[in-house]
Every structure is written in C-alpha cells, then in structure tokens.
Amino acid sequence: MVDILKPEEMFNSIDYTSPSDRWEDVPPDLTLGNFCYPTKKKNLEYLGLPAKDEWSPADDDWHLPDNWEEIIHEGFKERLEKYRSLKVFMDICVRCGACADKCHFFIGSGDPKNMPVLRAELLRSVYRKDFTTAGKILGSIAGARKITPLVIKEWFSYFYQCSECRRCSVYCPYGIDTAEITMMGRELLSLLGLNINWILEPVANCFRTGNHLGIQPHALKEMIEFFCDDIEEITGIKINPSFNRKGAEILFITPSGDFFADPGTYTMMGYLMLFEHIGLDYTLSTYASEGGNFGLFTSSEVMKRLNGKMFAEAKRLGVKWILGGECGHMWRVINQYMDTMNGPADFLEIPKSPITGTRFDNAASTKMVHIAEFTADLIKNNKLKLDPSRNDKFKVTFHDSCNPARGMGLLDEPRYVLKGVCNHFYEMPENTIREQTFCCGSGSGLNTEEIMDLRMRGGLPRANAVKHVHDKHGVNMLACICAIDRAALPPLMDYWVPEVGVTGIHELVGNALVMEGEIERTTDLRFEPLNEEEAQTDE
C-alpha cells in the first residue's frame, strides 16, 4: 500500500482556492498513488474485450492504437444515438454550479476537476467539438476542445475518481446524472483497452465461475458450512442450507463479499439464522453465487452478460421468485436495468412472502425482493421473536448506501429493521443521509489499496458525519446494507473515527433473533461477549 498522510495532515491539506491556471491547461497527476492499476491483458482477453499490452498510467506514451481517435469518435457517436440520456446530459447543463460542492471527492480533495460539472465537462468539451455545429466552427469559444492523448489521460484519471454515486444529480435542477456520464467515459476508455484491474479481474472471475473471487462450487459450499458450524457453536442450532436445489420456492442471491470477508460473513450468518428461524423454503446457488455486478463499472454489455445468470439460474432451478441480500450496486443493476436487459422473467411469480402473505408488487417486474424489505415485513407482522437488548453494547447509526438509497429508494425498511433489533439508534445529520447520503468513497470499483489517499479523502464527508454522532451520542457501530461498504467503511473508520465498527443489518438481526431451541447465548456472531460488562471481565 502507498503511504498516505496522517488524518490531520490530510484534512489540513485540502485547499479550495481557485487555481489561476485554466482547467484545460492542468495535466492530470498520474504519479504512483494517484491512479488505479490497469487491467491485466489476460482478463480483457478472457472477456473478449479490446486488449492492450501491459502498460502503466505513469508512462508518458500509452501506445494507443493507431486509429484511437476514430475508435473514440465512433464509440461516442454510437452511444449518443443509443442513449438519449447521454445526448440530453451533453446539451442541457447551464453551468449553474449547484452540483459543484456536492461531490465527496471535491470536498475531500479540493481538486476542481472533481466538481461534477467539470468532470462532465471533460467529456462534454469533446462532444461539442465533434458533434455540435457551434463547437466545430467556434472551437474553444464554444467550450469545445479536440481530443488528444492528454485528454484520454485526463478521462482515465477523473472517471476513475468518480464513484458513480449520483449525489450530484440530487441537487442538479435538470437532474443531470454525472454518474451516467462517468459510465459512458469509462465505456469509451474500455474501447481502447484502458480499464482498471480491480474491476476487470472480478468481472473475468465472475464470468468464469459466477463470483468475483473465482470461488469454486465445492469451496463455496464449505464456506457456508463453516458458518453453520459457528452458528451451532453460538446458538446450539444446526442449520442445513441447500445448494442448487431444484423445486425450492426461493432462490437466494447475495454478494460474494458475504462469503469471504468480515464483517460480511457475519451478515451471511444472520441470513442463514433468519431463514432457519422462519422455515423458509430456499436454496443457494453455486453458479449464481454473486449478486454484485462489476459490469456496471465497465460497460452496459458486460453488465448484461453478468446479470444474465440470475434469471437463468432461477429458471433452471424452477423457483418462484428471487430474494437478494444486502448489496449496493447489485440492486442498482436489478432495480434499474435487469428487467429490460434480461427480462421479462415471465416464468417467475410476483414475489409473495410465504410467512406473512405480503405480495411485493414493487418487485412485480424484476421478481426480486430486497432482504431489508423482506425482514421489515416479517417484523411488522410479528413473525420474529427478537431480543434487541442483545445488541445493547452497540450505539448504532445507519449509512444509506448510495445505490439502494438513490438507485431504488430503499430508505425506511433498513431503519425499520434496525429499530426492531437495536435499542440504541441515532441518525446522522439530515443532509448526510437518505437521498443526500455521502458515498463511502470507494464505490464503483475504487476500493483498491493503491489509491488509499483518494479513498480517505472521498470518504471524509461520510466519516465526518459519523464522527458527529460518535461525539454527540457515543455511536460505536455503523450499519449498512452494501457489501462494498462492508469492505470500504472499516478502513475509512479506522482512519477517521477509529472508535466505530461496521456491520451489516442482518448481523444485528442474527444477534437479536431468539431461535426456537437455542442454548443461552453468551456471545454475539463475532464470538465477542454479548454485553459490555462481560467484555470488560474478559479483558
């Protein structure tokens, strides 16, 4: 990992002074620590994407293909014709500046090119030159500029400094979605083989084995069985989940982060306990073993290819509907794109909870229900026996993950669940939660160690709001419903607010659940004492 500044030094280094140079004249900083490592050629070849020999963004010459200008022009043209939103977003910005200070990367870095309006301008200026009469005739007077290898470098730098969180779009009077502009910018770069490895390696693994890490079916089964052993040790209850079982009522799909990385693994244990408790007829799949979809950060075509396995596996297994775990971008893909990309899934039924009878009409087209909705419905209908005091050592706040919050409007259900399983819940300030939530700083494939400085800067506004409730209420646990958050927030908290831990909400559900026939619990799902007195005695 590249060394980064200490928190106080980083905070004091942020400079919002307007630079004297014109933005077009400032080259991107592509020194080590300021860029994501490029994709290994084998991953691009595996996916059949334009491949490029090994290179480094720090190189002077990126050895672009001879016809790179034509590739970009034709790619841009094709996308303008295909995506009406892109065409509109290129034309309608009035440069009012309402979005300028809303991006967490601008707040944390002070770099003007991290203002959403200017990030979009990186693409828009080329659009004007290539596709508008005014730009062709008047050039820079009309805000147009010719594409050059330096502009390509600038795109690579700044489209990988946007986490596609969409916070800026909430404040734009025209609803311009800079995340979509970033997505298009990344698609164009991909046409030249310019991708980052932290995204493309999981994509290649996912395409090959069904999940980001390339976990084979037998290994995945053993991981889940390992969690079941832990649950038995804590509760005395033996859980026997099924895998690839044809005829199950429900297929459960969750991000693979819940299989292999703490604290996601505790969230996974919470799901397994919940399903056992209510006697759910479900199966896991060792093929559709990844809810996450890094295709979203690559191109629409790759996103579609990876998403296809969800419906394909539901069809093969003959389930009635799909239940999905706690994830962020997984739900952006499901909620906004899946139905039109790979649907309609007419072979599935409109989801209906077999426990409460509630019909989830909001999922009538995708046939896929979010676990937070499912559990909130169980709690509302008194179907769970809960002892929230088992979470009393936690003072909890909730981080609205960008995609469930802004991508699907899932705002109240996670809070309802949390208030059902915890006695101490505190909200962060109003302008940092719900639709206005701040990104973790590592979304959209930026959760990679070589850009730790950028991630800590981008995560500063989120961490600052957590610090506020930590100082005011003693909050010591940050709950979230996103696998990337469960990976990205722990180092962010360690850096800015080390007193605060991170959890998925179903870990807290698992702690609070009073299961029939369970032994007296002495520890939580992390094998840590249930209450503070016991923890202190142990120390």
In the region spanning residues 397 to 456, those forming contacts with ligand SF4, defined by CB under 6 A, are 439
| Cβ-count burial 120-134 (b if 16+ within 10 Å, e if not) | bbbbbbbbbbbbbee
- Using the structure block, give the residue that is written with the tokens 């050592």: 393
Q: How many CA atoms lie within 13 A of 509 on its CB side?
A: 32
| Stretch in the footprint of ligand SF4 (CB under 6 A) among 24-32, 177-185, 262-270, 302-310 | 177-185
Among 94, 137, 364, 519, binds ligand SF4 (CB under 6 A): 94
Nearer to ligand SF4, 376 or 463 (CB): 463
Rounded to 5, what percent of the chain is helix, strand, coil?
A: 55, 5, 40
The greatest distance separating any two alpha carbons of the chain, rounded to the nearest whole angstrom, comes to 78
| CA distances for 91 relative to 94, 460, 466, 504, angstroms | 9, 32, 38, 41
Q: Quick check: 469 binds ligand SF4 (CB under 6 A)?
A: no
**Per CB under 6 A, 353 contacts ligand SF4:** no
In the three-class reduction of DSSP (H, G, I as helix; E, B as strand; rest coil), residue 159 is classed as helix
CB of 82 to ligand SF4, least distance (A): 21
Site for ligand SF4 contains 88 (CB under 6 A): no
**Could you tell me the smallest distance in angstroms from the CB atom of residue 421 to ligand SF4?**
31
Site string for ligand SF4, 103-122 (x = CB under 6 A): x-x----------xx-x---
* Residue 228, H or E segment: helix 217-235
CA distances for 328 relative to 157, 167, 401, 440, 492, angstroms = 24, 14, 6, 11, 17
The answer to whether 315 and 347 have CB atoms below 8 angstroms apart is yes
**What is the distance between the alpha carbons of residues 51 and 190, in angstroms, rounded to a whole number?**
9
Q: CB 406 → ligand SF4: shortest distance, Å?
A: 9
Under the binding rule (CB under 6 A), the answer on residue 162 touching ligand SF4 is yes
Return the range that interacts with ligand SF4 (CB under 6 A); candidates 19-27, 88-96, 318-326, 354-362: 88-96
Cβ closest to ligand SF4, residue 172 vs residue 284: 172
Q: Does 124 bind ligand SF4 (CB under 6 A)?
A: no
Site size toward ligand SF4, by CB under 6 A: 27
User: Residue 179 interacts with ligand SF4 (CB under 6 A)?
Assistant: yes
Residue 174 binds ligand SF4 (CB under 6 A): yes
d(CA 272, CA 470): 31
Ramachandran category for residue 436: left, alpha or beta (phi over 0 → left; psi -120 to 50 → alpha): alpha
Establish if 238 lies at the interface with ligand SF4 (CB under 6 A).
Answer: no
Select the span of 101-109, 320-328, 350-358, 489-497 touching ligand SF4 (CB under 6 A): 101-109
Span of 99-107, 220-228, 360-368, 516-524 interacting with ligand SF4 by CB under 6 A: 99-107
Token duo for residue 47 = 């996916």
Instruction: For ligand SF4, give the closer residue by CB, 90 or 306.
Output: 90
Among candidate residues 486, 439, 494, 480, the one with its CA nearest the CA of residue 114: 439
Q: 351 or 459, CB closer to ligand SF4?
A: 459
Binding residues vs ligand SF4 (CB under 6 A): 93-99, 102-103, 105, 116-117, 119, 162-168, 172, 174, 176, 178-179, 182, 439
